[in-house]
Amino acid sequence: MSNGDERVREIDWFHSIDLGGGVVTPGREGATAAKLERIGLPESLAGRTVLDVGAWDGFFAFEAERRGAERVLATDWYCWSGPGWGSKRGFDYARERLGSQVEDHEIDVLDLSPEALGGQFDVVLFLGVLYHMRHPLLALERVASVTRELAIIETEVSHLLTRKPAVRYYLEGDDWCAPTLTACRAMLADVGFRRVSVHHRYSAPERIARAIKWRLRKGRRLRDSLGRGRAVIHAWK
């Protein structure tokens, strides 16, 4: 980060965004680029419209624009003006600095609709949001309503020892729930996606390393952490 970029210093960033000129925002997430590799965003989005739900600082919206999307709309509420610790300052500054044409609309997930957003989008990104929702099935229903072709969902998942669809509720902080992969597939089919596939999931070694990290950082019990992971799911209309 450039020592002279005081505006970057003044913002509490979640995403690490390369703003050019040697300036990279100091995002709390840290591994934003690694998440990009995992989610399977098409290399070319030429001629397509993209919606980024829960955009926060806008890393994925700006990346979709960079990959040639015809129109990109970033939406958020919780992190822009809701009860989350974030703000819209990072998004606004990154858009200005990048000379981006990404549009923005402040709206809660449960208020998404084609009427509210002016239609459907070819690709909808729903990254790191589902497990924060008190009403996960309703949230997926809203996402489905604005998806024309493909939704990419990245979320916390549960590894409960059952083959039945199940959702584990945590009721701690802003982490509300973690569905099993079976539950994810079932919910997505229920809201109208005709084909669902797991694009990426944490391996056992990744889950172990993550459990040790959370044990050291927050004292979380290893057994609880081992029962959780992350996954990326692609769902097609």
Structure confidence by residue, pLDDT tens digits, 85-110: 899 999 999 999 999 999 999 999 99
Which domain CATH number covers 103?
Answer: 3.40.50.150
Distance CA 4, CA 162 (A): 54
Residue 38 lies in a domain: no
Task: Provide the residue range defining the domain that includes 85.
Answer: 43-236
Distance CA 37, CA 57 (A): 18
Residue 14 lies in a domain: no
pLDDT at residue 217, as a whole number: 65
Residue 36 lies in a domain: no
Q: Which residue type is seen at 148? A: R
pLDDT at residue 30, as a whole number: 76
Note the pTM of the prediction, 2 decimals.
Answer: 0.91
Per the structure, how many domains does the chain have? Answer: 1
Residues 1-32 have pLDDT tens digits of: 444 488 899 999 999 999 998 899 999 987 89
Residue for token pair 């610790």: 85
Residue 57 lies in a domain: yes
Residue 6 lies in a domain: no
Residue 4 lies in a domain: no
- What is the DSSP-derived secondary structure letter of residue 10? H
Residues 195-235 have pLDDT tens digits of: 999 999 876 677 666 656 655 566 666 566 556 789 999 99
The closest of 231, 130, 214, 227 to 174, measured between CA atoms, is 130
Residue 30 lies in a domain: no
Residue 151 lies in a domain: yes
